[in-house]
Structure 1
Amino acid sequence: MAGSVEVFGGGTAVITGAAAGVGAGLARHAALALGMNVVLADIDEAALRRTCAEITDEGGRATPVVVDVRDAAAVQSLADSVVKESGPLRLLVNNAGVLQFGYLWDIPVDGWERLVSINISGVFHGVRAFLPHLLRQSEPAWVLNLASIGAVTARPLQTPYIMSKHAVLSMTECLHQEVALAGARHIHVGAVLPGAVTSRIFDEAGGVDRGDLSAAEMEREAMFRVREHAMGPEEAAATILQQAADGEFYIVTQPDAVHAAMRDRAQQLTARRPPAPVRSRFTAQQPE
């Protein structure tokens, strides 16, 4: 099997949500370990410029672009400018995402709409903007959409996030079929299902302003405990891009945990069992 340097080295990558967490890990690994020219896209300009400066200070090639993935026109402008300035794209990672805690009936409408517009529409905007360019080029390209272990599970008090990751997984499975149907053999599509990876997504997650506030905050605290056992972003990035280079469609960071979740999901559907609250697969400290 080809190594990730052989597959991706020297190419251009675009990564959304690249200022921190998994996105920053992917950007650092792509630029510093694989020698890619990386365009980092994020809405947080200060964090974006810090991450880019860290990469360039270590000798990598990184360009910051402030982009709100909720804005279809802005994502289209990003795609057009990258292709115009850098030529064929080797790697697109639709990574930007947020989280929301609380009982579904307590979730603020603006919190719901923000999450859906970033986690689901943001991926759609990335695909819609970049795929026409990729279809026109002859060079191989990879499109990776960030789902989650949550895409094959159900978990209470994170319903908007879990729902969005199921949507991203389904979107990516359909996209894989559509790319094949279009005869675009040079385009490789992958769904990334990370387990727990160190980031600030739990700190920055939305909560609720009515109803059971304590339940929402207890779930946040539970996720902080999960984070204590999380994989580092750059280790996750190396795993993700090597599996992409190997031709995997379902790309996972912690195979034992994620594959077990997949088996459990398949068995639940086959047996038509209703879902029940589950213990975290990443720490024994998580309460029932």
Structure 2
Amino acid sequence: MINPVTKRIHTHFQQTVTVTGRLSSTEPNLQNIPVRTEIGKRMRAMFVPGDGYDLLMSCDYSQVELRILAHIAQDQLLLDSFAKGQDVHARTAAEVFGLPLDEVSSEMRSRAKAVNFGIVYGISDYGLSKQLGISRNEAGQYIENYFKRYTGVKKYMEDMVIKAKKDGYVSTLFGRRRYLPDINNNNFNLRSFAERTAINTPIQGTAADVIKLAMIKVQNALAEGNFKSRILLQVHDELVLEVCAHEKEQVAELVKNIMERTVDLSVPLLADVAYGKNWAETK
């Protein structure tokens, strides 16, 4: 696993394995090391800067898929929440539970977060009930309340399914298509999966396009600026670099600015920067 010449671990990235367009990593898979588990933290702590470098830097998109959903769906509540820099999950909880924002509890926020991310993947009342450990009726009420308030999201979901049934495919914001041969299938399960895919692909696929474009721009900017710091890894919405201490501030500003300005959306894209002596310390 360790290269005898470089003394490093080199993963293999595939461009065309995942149907959404995200990069995948194999031999070994460095995109699948847990962040929150104890063993995951210990594994990440083993990854350190190479000779001649001082720190690892992580630059991670914040809620990129929800921001893309807000842009594509043009949902006024989501647009307003991101424009004001609000905690989008707390805002959703306030809308779903019918409370002022300052009365939202942490439990309500957690449930709203599950709804926010679940909606993007076409979650059902059954799926949400299992995830949150609540009754199916209660989960169904959350989803119903969500769609009553986030009407733009509901319309987007309906429109994408109609479009997919007509065209046989859906596209990302950059025009990359995903064909859905089962979108009009008589088999309910196959058709339902294709419908959920039609809803999610423009969002997740666009996020994949955005991070790839950001990587290219960051790579070019580092080369043009004659920086020694360099990209090591991409983990979905995150770029990991090894940096020199004297370049730390410049590189952080450069990468953050590029990631946040890679594409012009109706809501701001935000990227969070963190440093550490090892990969675990960047979280």
TM-score category (smaller protein): under 0.3
- TM-score, length basis structure 1: 0.27
- TM-score, length basis structure 2: 0.27
Structure with higher Rg: it is 2
Tell me: higher relative CO, structure 1 or 2? Use CA pairs within 8 A at least 6 residues apart.
2
